[in-house]
Structure 1
């Protein structure tokens, strides 16, 4: 019990019984960054907060919109128009008042990667949707030995049971990650040997993408290959599961630190 009446052992006792007291201490000391807190990233943030992660940096420039309701955690009527990072910080405070949350209202770009990530984190989750930026981030993280995981595209899918994790060299069925793989090899000199791992861990699905159905606002030809789900249909059954897979990678890494 703390001086404010906050009973952390009660709130996170289930985590301690599952991972152990030492791991829970690691979680409380850890600093995780989530870049992109939309349909995938927002759920990753929720899972990290409920696992007892002590510091979270959230990066996103978007505001909560009504069109986010189908897939994003913070998309509630009372939060429409609010910065996504702010809406999540307010929610995290209700989960764990001792969690430090750092809001960065900005988009990651090829020009600000050093500024945003140069300090180093215990783990970074990439849940953004621009391929060139994802490639620049992955190259930077590999070079600097920054633990991380990248989310592939979550739109146009219905079955969370088909989600898995693998090195980027082994991913299939995902146009976003295929483009990322091509970009890393072309622009950053990653090996073209298909037998060699790229050291870029990813979350992806082997499900075939469902194009927008008849009457949708845009055509299949116009559908994006990213995480925004602006063209593809999307369900939180899948986007949230992608986020939980990303959070699991972060938690397992931190729990295993000595």
Structure 2
């Protein structure tokens, strides 16, 4: 989400332990007995998302289907998070962003295509979500979140918020609002000026490094919202960020590792500021979505599905 006056772009290793990658595709033999797909099949949801159930288990699968996730900011990071959530069987999504798709979004944003230029981002993504999952409920809210409209914009029945906005004041206000209401939130840091997605980490917001956006957000939370100034105290806010050294555009048209002394290059906008690439912004979004799903799955493990819930 781009705010016109924003000075900054949008920000455990992805795993703290070695990760193994296994082929989870179905064999030819396993797919031969599958019934022909029709959009009106009673087990349509299982056909589409059975792989998610086999990955997380029945309780979590049912929790995902009942969950209402709010994604604030659907640009370079948020658009990819929305894609992952829709393809994981989340039952309801609220998408909040006032921006329209512009041609310079094509390098990093999922919804940016030749045929979508000029359209509201939330509407394009809502259509895509319904094509992925026809029964999903999607609320496309063309608005910016501000410190003054959070109660109006954030739905009362939200189960989790995924923050992918790049305005310091709005980001801090959103985090504080969720914390006060004990509403789970996954925060993302800046994804611009980076070329190595393997440097993405997940940590408490109080422990992030090499991210100027998050540093400003921490300062604002401490100054305006009463968050602890004790460096040993954690905020208990999960955050996706990168510890990669930032790459800055230089005046000669090349790039450098030193921040220029003048000018604002910390923005991620349509004409200037940090550069960005899909393989980084998308990775941020996917990691954020994975953490959101992990939180929901944990809730399912603690609280069994309600009577009559689909598993």
Tell me which moved more, 196-205 or 64-73. Answer: 196-205
Q: TM-score, normalising length from structure 1?
A: 0.94
Runs of 4+ in 1 over 4 A off after TM superposition: 226-230
Residues 65-84 of structure 1 correspond to what in structure 2 (within 5 A)?
65-84=102-121
CA–CA separation in structure 1 for the residues paired with 2:156 and 2:244: 37
1:213-236 deviations in Å (ceiling 9; x for gaps):
5427xx944345455584101011
Structure 1 residue aligned with 2:160: 123
Give the secondary-structure state (helix, strand or coil) at the position aligned to 2:248. coil
Tell me which moved more, 113-122 or 20-29. Answer: 113-122
Cα deviation for residue 199 of structure 1 reads: 1.8
Q: TM-score, normalising length from structure 2?
A: 0.78
1:56-81 deviations in Å (ceiling 9; x for gaps):
00000111110000000000001111
Give the RMSD, CA atoms, in angstroms: 1.8
The answer to whether the 8 A contact 1:30-1:53 is kept is: yes
Give the secondary-structure state (helix, strand or coil) at the position aligned to 2:118. coil
Structure 1 residue aligned with 2:253: 215
Query: Could you say which structure has the higher helix fraction?
Result: 1
Alignment gaps of 5+ in structure 1: none
Structure 1 residue aligned with 2:34: none
Query: Which structure ranks higher in relative contact order (CA pairs < 8 Å, sequence separation ≥ 6)?
Result: 2
CA–CA separation in structure 1 for the residues paired with 2:124 and 2:163: 19
Does residue 1:46 correspond to 2:97, yes or no? no
CA–CA separation in structure 2 for the residues paired with 1:41 and 1:174: 18
Residues 52-67 of structure 1 correspond to what in structure 2 (within 5 A)?
52-67=89-104
Cα deviation for residue 10 of structure 1 reads: 1.4
Cα deviation for residue 188 of structure 1 reads: 1.2
Residues 174-253 of structure 1 correspond to what in structure 2 (within 5 A)?
174-213=211-250, 214-215=252-253, 220=260, 221-225=262-266, 228=269, 230-253=272-295
Cα deviation for residue 3 of structure 1 reads: 7.4
1:27-82 deviations in Å (ceiling 9; x for gaps):
11000000000000000000000000000000001111100000000000011111
- Of 241, 251, 254, 2:296 maps to 254
Give the secondary-structure state (helix, strand or coil) at the position aligned to 1:102. strand
The answer to whether the 8 A contact 1:168-1:177 is kept is: yes
Alignment gaps of 5+ in structure 2: 1-36, 304-311
- Of 23, 38, 61, 1:24 maps to 61
CA–CA separation in structure 1 for the residues paired with 2:295 and 2:158: 12
The answer to whether the 8 A contact 1:128-1:227 is kept is: no
The answer to whether the 8 A contact 2:267-2:274 is kept is: no
